[in-house]
C-alpha cells in the first residue's frame, strides 16, 4: 500500500489490528513524558555511541517512520546507527537495562511493516554494516555483514562463476539481514529454495547483548536447529549482524518460455501439469490479463494482450539440460491448451520477458493512485478457485484487483487498486485484502508466503492459528527475549485482540481432511 495514513487513523487501525501488548506494556505517556524518556535514552546511548550516530530530532527521524508498507507510520524515540558489533552490543545492553523496545532495520524495503518503528523505542539501523567480509570460492560461501544488499553478494561472487540464489524483487536494495528477518523468497525459490535454504550461519546478539551464533559453516550444528526459527523471525528473537550464505554455480544458460492461455483455469492447470510431469522449473510465474496490460504499457515486453493469463516458465542449467527441459516444458504447455508459445532466443529477450513480472508493482502504481499488495499462498491446484473468488470479491467490494503469482509455489500477489483520497476506499481495500487472506487459509494455504506478518497481517494470524498455537509462539519468543523488547507488537496477536476480531473467523474450520484434529 502506498497511501500515507495520518497517525490518529493508524493508532485506531493498530489497536483494532491487535497490537495490544505494545500499547499495554509500553504505554504512550503523552508528549511531555515522551520527551523526558527520549532525553533519558539519548543520554544513556550517548555514553556508548558517538552522538553523530544517534538521531532523535523529528526532522532526522522522519525518514525512518515506515518501511515499504508506507501506510503505517510511526516516529521512533531514537534512531541508533552503530558501525561495529561492539556498538550494537552496547546499544542493546542500554536498551535492555532501561526496558526500551528495539526495532532492527535494514534497507526498509519490507512490505508488511516489520520495521515500522516503536513510538517508545529505538530503531536500530544496521545500514552501516555493509561490508562483504569474505567470498570463498573453494567452499562456495560468502560471509557478509547484515547490511549488504542481496544483489551485491551475487555481484561479488560473479567473478568466481557463483551467485546467491534467492532473488526477491527488491534485490537491488534489500539487505541480507532483512532477507534473514523475513525468510525472503523470489522468483526462483521453487528450484533453489528460500533464504532459509541458502543460509549456513547467522551471527548476532540477544536482547541482553550476548553474542550468539546459529548454524555453522558445516552443514549442521550441535543442538536444536534454531536457524529456521531465527530466519523469518522478523527481528523478534535476536539482532543479526553477520550472515554466511551458500553460493551456487551460475547456470551456463537460462531460457524462458512465455505461454498464453485462453483462461486462468487452463493456465492454473498447466502449472500443476508441469510439476506432475516431474519438471521443477527454475521459475514459474503467472500474470492475469489486467496485470499483463498494466505492465506491457510500462515495459513494452511484447506480452500477449489477448491472453486471459500468461505463464513464464524458465529452465536453467547446462546447454544440454536446458534444451531437454525446454522441449519437455513446451510439450506439457501445448498439451494444456497454450494458445501461443514463445521461447526466449537470447539473454536480452529472456530479461525482457521477466521485466514485466519484476515491474508488476511499479506498473500498478501507474494505473492506480494506490494499491495494496497481498501475499498469501495456496495449494497450486486451487489457483483457479482463488481467482474465481477474487473476481467475485472485486464486484462485492467495488474495487479492481490485478494478479501476479509465483505460480510454481502457489504464492499469490493480488494487487488491490484503490484511491485513498476517496472516502471509504482504503477501508474497502482492507476488507477485500482480509477476505483474500481468509479465503486462502480456507483453501489450505497461509496468510503470508514471503512478505511476513509484521503489522499488516497481525489480525489475519487469528484466522490461521488457534489461541494455543499463538501462545506457543509467544512462549517461544520469551525463550529468546524474556523481556519482550525486540520488535514488540508485531507478528503475534494477543488472545484478547483475536477475540475482538470476531468469533466468526473460526480457525481452520473449512480445511480439507476433516478427520484431522482441529482445535
Q: Among residues 457, 484, 488, 497, which is the contact residue for other proteins, using CB under 8 A? A: 457
Q: Considering the rule CB under 8 A, would residue 75 count as an interface residue with other proteins?
A: no
Give the 3-state secondary structure percentages of the chain, helix then strand then coil, rounded to 5.
40, 20, 40
d(CA 433, CA 423): 17
Q: Minimum Å distance from CB 223 to other proteins?
A: 5
Q: Considering the rule CB under 8 A, would residue 394 count as an interface residue with other proteins?
A: no
DSSP state of 25: H
Q: Considering the rule CB under 8 A, would residue 161 count as an interface residue with other proteins?
A: yes
Q: Which residues of 320-346 are buried (b: 16+ CB within 10 A; e: fewer)?
A: eebeebbeebbebbeebbbbeebbbee
In sequence order, the β-bridge partners of residue 418 are 370
Residue with smaller CB distance to other proteins, 76 or 281: 281
Q: Considering only the stretches 259-267, 285-293, 357-365, 451-459, report the one whose residues sit in contact with other proteins under the rule CB under 8 A.
A: 451-459
CB 84 within 8 A of CB 90: no
Residue with smaller CB distance to other proteins, 368 or 487: 487
Q: Considering the rule CB under 8 A, would residue 324 count as an interface residue with other proteins?
A: yes
Q: Minimum Å distance from CB 217 to other proteins?
A: 4
Residue with smaller CB distance to other proteins, 330 or 466: 466
Q: Among residues 74, 285, 288, 325, which is the contact residue for other proteins, using CB under 8 A? A: 325
Q: How far is the CA of 394 from the CAs of 4, 26, 367, 429, 516, in angstroms?
A: 23, 39, 16, 10, 33
Q: Considering the rule CB under 8 A, would residue 514 count as an interface residue with other proteins?
A: no
Residue with smaller CB distance to other proteins, 32 or 516: 516
CB 105 within 8 A of CB 64: yes
d(CA 61, CA 43): 17
Count interface residues toward other proteins (CB under 8 A).
Answer: 104
Edge-to-edge strands of the sheet including 211-215? 132-136, 141-145, 239-246, 199-205, 211-215
Question: Which of 408, 404, 369 is CA-nearest to residue 390?
Answer: 404
Hunting for cell 508528549 — which residue is that? 31
Which residues in 360-389 contact other proteins (CB under 8 A)? 377-381
Q: How far is the CA of 326 from the CAs of 25, 221, 281, in angstroms?
A: 57, 39, 9
d(CA 420, CA 510): 33
Which residues in 415-434 contact other proteins (CB under 8 A)? none
d(CA 129, CA 83): 6
Which residues in 225-284 contact other proteins (CB under 8 A)? 225-226, 228-229, 231-233, 237, 249-252, 272-273, 275-276, 278-280
Q: Among residues 461, 485, 486, 498, which is the contact residue for other proteins, using CB under 8 A? A: 461
Q: Minimum Å distance from CB 3 to other proteins?
A: 24
d(CA 499, CA 250): 50
Q: Minimum Å distance from CB 220 to other proteins?
A: 5
Helix (H) or strand (E) holding 203: strand 199-205
Q: Is 196 helix (H, G, I), strand (E, B) or coil?
A: helix
d(CA 279, CA 311): 15
Q: Considering the rule CB under 8 A, would residue 453 count as an interface residue with other proteins?
A: yes
Q: Considering the rule CB under 8 A, would residue 206 count as an interface residue with other proteins?
A: yes
Residue with smaller CB distance to other proteins, 325 or 430: 325
Q: Considering only the stretches 25-33, 184-192, 349-357, 419-427, report the one whose residues sit in contact with other proteins under the rule CB under 8 A.
A: 184-192
Q: Considering the rule CB under 8 A, would residue 451 count as an interface residue with other proteins?
A: yes
Q: Which three cell numbers stand for residue 368?
A: 492506480
Q: Minimum Å distance from CB 451 to other proteins?
A: 7
d(CA 373, CA 153): 27
Tell me the per-residue interface mask from 2 to 31 with other proteins, x by CB under 8 A, - otherwise: ------------------------------
Hunting for cell 509484521 — which residue is that? 454
Question: Which of 445, 286, 280, 284 is CA-nearest to residue 379?
Answer: 445
Q: Minimum Å distance from CB 24 to other proteins?
A: 20
Q: Among residues 110, 414, 452, 484, which is the contact residue for other proteins, using CB under 8 A? A: 452
CB 492 within 8 A of CB 469: no
Q: Minimum Å distance from CB 171 to other proteins?
A: 17
Which residues in 89-148 contact other proteins (CB under 8 A)? 137-140
Residue with smaller CB distance to other proteins, 82 or 232: 232
Q: Minimum Å distance from CB 216 to other proteins?
A: 7
Residue with smaller CB distance to other proteins, 75 or 160: 160
Residue with smaller CB distance to other proteins, 137 or 396: 137
Q: Considering the rule CB under 8 A, would residue 337 count as an interface residue with other proteins?
A: no
Q: Among residues 217, 331, 347, 392, which is the contact residue for other proteins, using CB under 8 A? A: 217
d(CA 39, CA 435): 44
Q: Considering the rule CB under 8 A, would residue 289 count as an interface residue with other proteins?
A: no
Q: Minimum Å distance from CB 477 to other proteins?
A: 8
Hunting for cell 503467472 — which residue is that? 286
Q: Considering the rule CB under 8 A, would residue 78 count as an interface residue with other proteins?
A: no
Which residues in 479-508 contact other proteins (CB under 8 A)? 479-480, 482, 491-492, 508
d(CA 258, CA 350): 9
Residue with smaller CB distance to other proteins, 148 or 272: 272
Q: Minimum Å distance from CB 174 to other proteins?
A: 15
CB 80 within 8 A of CB 91: yes
Q: Considering only the stretches 8-16, 300-308, 334-342, 470-478, report the one whose residues sit in contact with other proteins under the rule CB under 8 A.
A: 470-478
Q: Which three cell numbers stand for residue 69?
A: 508498507
Amino acid at each position: 500500500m502506498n497511501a500515507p495514513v495520518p497517525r490518529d487513523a493508524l493508532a485506531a487501525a493498530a489497536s483494532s489490528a491487535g497490537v495490544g501488548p505494545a500499547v499495554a506494556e509500553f504505554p504512550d505517556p503523552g508528549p511531555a513524558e515522551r520527551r523526558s524518556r527520549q532525553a533519558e535514552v539519548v543520554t544513556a546511548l550517548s555514553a556508548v555511541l558517538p552522538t553523530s550516530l544517534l538521531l532523535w530530532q523529528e526532522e532526522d527521524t522522519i525518514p525512518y517512520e515506515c518501511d515499504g508498507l508506507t501506510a503505517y507510520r510511526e516516529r521512533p524515540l531514537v534512531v541508533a546507527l552503530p558501525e561495529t558489533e561492539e556498538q550494537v552490543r552496547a546499544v542493546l545492553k542500554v536498551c535492555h537495562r532501561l526496558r526500551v523496545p528495539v526495532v532492527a532495520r535494514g534497507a526498509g524495503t519490507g512490505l508488511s511493516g516489520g520495521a515500522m518503528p516503536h513510538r517508545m523505542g529505538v530503531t536500530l539501523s544496521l545500514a552501516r554494516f555493509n561490508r562483504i567480509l569474505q567470498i570463498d570460492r573453494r567452499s562456495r560461501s560468502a560471509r557478509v555483514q547484515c547490511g549488504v544488499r542481496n544483489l551485491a553478494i551475487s555481484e561479488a561472487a560473479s567473478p568466481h562463476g557463483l551467485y546467491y540464489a534467492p532473488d526477491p524483487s527488491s534485490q537491488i536494495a534489500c539487505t541480507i539481514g532483512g532477507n534473514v528477518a523475513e525468510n525472503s523468497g523470489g522468483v526462483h525459490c521453487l528450484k533453489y529454495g528460500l533464504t532459509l535454504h541458502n543460509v549456513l550461519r547467522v551471527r548476532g546478539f540477544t536482547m541482553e547483548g550476548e553474542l550468539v551464533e546459529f548454524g555453522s559453516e558445516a552443514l549442521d550444528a550441535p543442538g536444536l536447529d534454531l536457524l529456521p526459527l531465527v530466519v523469518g523471525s522478523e527481528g523478534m528473537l535476536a539482532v543479526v549482524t553477520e550472515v554466511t550464505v551458500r553460493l551456487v554455480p551460475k547456470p551456463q544458460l537460462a531460457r524462458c518460455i512465455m505461454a498464453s492461455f485462453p483462461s486462468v483455469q487452463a493456465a492454473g492447470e498447466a502449472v500443476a501439469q508441469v510439476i506432475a510431469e516431474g519438471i521443477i522449473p527454475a521459475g514459474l510465474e503467472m500474470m492475469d490479463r489486467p496485470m499483463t496490460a498494466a505492465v506491457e504499457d510500462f515495459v513494452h515486453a511484447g506480452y500477449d494482450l489477448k491472453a486471459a493469463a500468461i505463464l513464464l516458465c524458465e529452465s536453467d542449467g547446462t546447454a544440454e539440460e536446458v534444451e531437454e527441459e525446454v522441449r519437455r516444458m513446451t510439450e506439457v504447455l501445448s498439451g494444456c491448451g497454450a494458445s501461443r508459445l514463445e521461447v526466449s532466443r537470447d539473454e536480452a529477450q529472456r530479461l525482457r520477458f521477466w521485466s514485466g513480472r519484476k515491474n508488476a508493482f511499479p506498473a500498478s502504481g501507474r494505473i492506480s493512485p494506490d494499491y495494496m499488495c497481498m501475499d498469501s499462498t495456496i495449494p497450486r491446484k486451487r489457483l483457479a478457485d482463488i481467482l474465481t473468488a477474487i473476481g467475485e470479491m472485486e464486484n462485492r467490494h467495488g474495487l479492481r484487483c490485478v494478479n501476479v503469482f509465483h505460480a510454481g509455489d502457489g504464492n499469490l500477489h493480488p494487487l488491490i487498486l484503490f484511491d485513498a483520497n476517496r472516502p471509504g476506499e482504503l477501508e474497502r481495500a482492507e476488507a477485500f485484502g482480509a477476505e483474500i487472506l481468509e479465503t486462502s487459509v480456507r483453501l489450505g494455504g497461509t496468510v503470508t508466503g514471503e512478505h511476513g506478518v509484521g503489522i499488516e497481517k497481525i489480525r489475519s494470524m487469528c484466522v490461521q492459528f488457534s489461541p494455543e498455537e499463538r501462545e506457543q509462539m509467544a512462549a517461544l519468543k520469551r525463550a529468546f527475549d524474556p523481556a519482550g523488547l525486540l520488535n514488540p507488537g508485531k507478528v503475534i496477536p494477543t488472545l484478547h485482540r483475536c477475540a475482538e476480531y470476531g468469533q466468526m473467523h473460526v480457525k481452520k474450520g473449512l480445511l480439507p481432511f476433516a478427520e484431522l484434529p482441529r482445535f
